[in-house]
Amino acid sequence: MPQARKEIESIPDYVPGKSIDEIREKYGLSHITKLASNENPFGTSGMAVAAYKKCAAKLHLYPRGFAPELVKKLALKWKVNEENLIVGNGSDEILDLAARVYLNKGDYATGASSTFSVYSSVVKTVGAKYKAFPLESFYYPLESLPGFKNAKIIFICNPNNPTGTYFSNKKIFDFLKKVPEEILVVLDMAYRDFTDEGEPPLHKWIKQFPNLLCTRTFSKLYGLAGLRIGYGIASEQIIKALKKIKPPFNSNYPAQMAALAALDDVRFVEKSLKTNSEERKKLTQNLQSLGFDVLPSGANFVCVKIGKTAKEFVTWLESKGMIVRHLGSFDMPEWVRITVGTPKQNKDLLKIFQISR
Ligand SMILES: Cc1ncc(COP(=O)(O)O)c(C=O)c1O
């Protein structure tokens, strides 16, 4: 029997959100709402779906490995050069490439204890160590992180999954100024589209900070989670290094074409952003008026304190056809994360929460 490397065994299994089919089978319910994986509640951009369908005639062909059409469009969007971009099979893949390129066995990387679990898995996969720091009142302790001399990579998730808390562009900029140049900062911006503050000038940041790698995704705002497509923006040196080990055909052709079309679907994007912003505010206020603690969120989800019975509460919600995410695996066992849904979904959720009070 071949033996997996020792460090692989120490990686906890990824705990995905429960699926609609799982809950349907378990409770025999016909109507189920899933607000557990921060997917777009409006589905996928119509223009992206049309572009995806058009690809059917070309499925026998390999995709162009570096996704040149998409890279060109993204370069214009972010005012960067094409050499500053890499497309991945989801932004997950960019995180994995970064760990494999920049960490040696025994090195340290650091990130929060309550954050996206993929950071620690990609670090451990290469035999490096993930030193987790606790959040301070649900925020990254940005002041103390640059002093983390042993780290080769610092992972910052802004807004953070699962808390939704986030820093202003100025705070992140001030933090970046303090990080020594030899430390790679991975700034995961998977949820940054939903933050009410405007985008930071990434074209300036990557020039000033050649040690900065920003990751972005089409999975959330553009509703393309199932196709797996995301990207990284960084200095030429970083992108060049990541490209060296990128699997040649990592992002598939339909995903590239759907992402390209999704960027043009202004109506879908605006509707998604406007509804998310309005509904996040309403959901937060309504849950607070029922007596729940809700963290301020700049994402497409809210983080809610339920208390010691959070796990049982989530199971009870599932029995009512409502799937949300219990945060035990995020080191926050008294909390749940709820994706901001459509107005109707949010109303349904609140009705069930009301019964529980
Ligand atoms: C913080 C964060 N980063 C990255 C990802 C991965 O996104 P993708 O679907 O692009 O791999 C997720 C997915 O949920 C996430 O929550």
* Residue 297 near residue 280 (C-beta atoms within 8 A): yes
Decide if pLDDT at 355 tops 90: no
Q: Looking at residue 20, which CATH number applies to its domain?
A: 3.90.1150.10
Protein residue closest via CA to atom 12 of ligand 1 = 190
Mean pLDDT of 296-315: 97
114 with 156, same domain: the answer is: yes
Ligand 1 atom at shortest distance from the alpha carbon of 229: 10
Domain count, the chain: 2
Report yes or no: 203 and 117 within 8 Å, Cβ to Cβ: no
Specify the pLDDT at position 257.
Answer: 98
Say what the pLDDT of residue 145 is: 81
Please give the average per-residue pLDDT across 197-221, as a whole number: 98
**44 CB near ligand 1 (under 6 Å):** no
In a domain, 1, yes or no: no
Q: Is 350 within a domain? A: yes
Q: Which residue among 140, 188, 251 is best mutated to probe the pocket of ligand 1, counting the most ligand atoms within 8 A of its Cβ?
A: 188
Q: What would the mean pLDDT of 150-157 be, rounded to a whole number?
A: 95
* Number of the ligand 1 atom closest to the C-alpha atom of 161: 1
Ligand 1 lined by 157 (C-beta under 6 Å): yes
Range of the domain at 78: 46-264
Say what the pLDDT of residue 160 is: 98
Higher pLDDT, 355 or 81: 81
91 and 20, same structural domain? Answer: no
> Rounded mean pLDDT of 162-188?
97
Q: For the ranges 52-56, 153-157, 219-223, 353-357, which has the lowest average pLDDT?
A: 353-357
Domain boundary, last residue among 264, 293, 322: 264
Judge if 226 and 322 occupy the same domain. Answer: no
- Would you say 242 and 215 are in contact if contact means Cβ atoms under 8 Å apart? no
Assess whether pLDDT exceeds 80 at residue 17. no
In a shared domain, residues 97 and 38: no
Q: Tell me, what's the pLDDT at 28? A: 92
Token representation of residue 57:
């005639």
Query: What gap in Å lies between CA 219 and CA 100, rounded to an integer?
Result: 23
Identify whether residues 192 and 310 lie together within a single domain: no
pTM beyond cutoff 0.75: yes
Where residue 11 falls among pLDDT bands split at 50, 70, 90? confident
Residue 36 within a domain:
yes
Please compute the mean of the pLDDT values over residues 21-31 and round it to a whole number: 92
Name, in order, each residue with C-beta under 8 angstroms of 31's C-beta and a sequence gap of 6 or more.
321
Of 117 and 10, more confident? 117
Nearest to 5 by CA among 152, 95, 128: 128
Average pLDDT over residues 311-321: 96
Mean pLDDT score across all residues of the chain: 96
Residue 150 pLDDT grade (very low, low, confident, very high; cuts 50, 70, 90): confident
CA-closest candidate to residue 97, choices 87, 106, 111: 87
What are the tens digits of pLDDT across the range 215-260?
999 999 999 999 999 999 999 999 999 999 999 999 999 999 999 9
Identify the band that residue 7 occupies on the pLDDT scale cut at 50, 70 and 90: confident
Q: Is the pLDDT of residue 146 over 80?
A: no
**Beta strands, E only, the chain:** 33-34, 85-88, 108-112, 129-133, 151-157, 184-188, 212-217, 230-234, 293-294, 301-305, 322-323, 325-326, 335-339
Band of pLDDT at residue 308, cut at 50, 70 and 90? very high
CA distance 1 to 37: 36
Examine the domain organization and report whether 256 and 160 are in the same domain: yes
Q: Is the CB of 219 under 6 A from ligand 1?
A: yes
pLDDT at 277 over 80: yes
Q: Say yes or no to pLDDT of 111 above 90.
A: yes
Residue 299: the pLDDT is 98
Q: How many CA atoms lie within 13 A of 128 on its CB side?
A: 26
217 alpha carbon – ligand 1 mean position (Å): 7
Same domain? For 274 and 247 the reply is no
**Sorting pLDDT into bands at 50, 70 and 90, what band is 148?**
confident
- Rounded distance from Cα 228 to ligand 1 centre (Å): 10
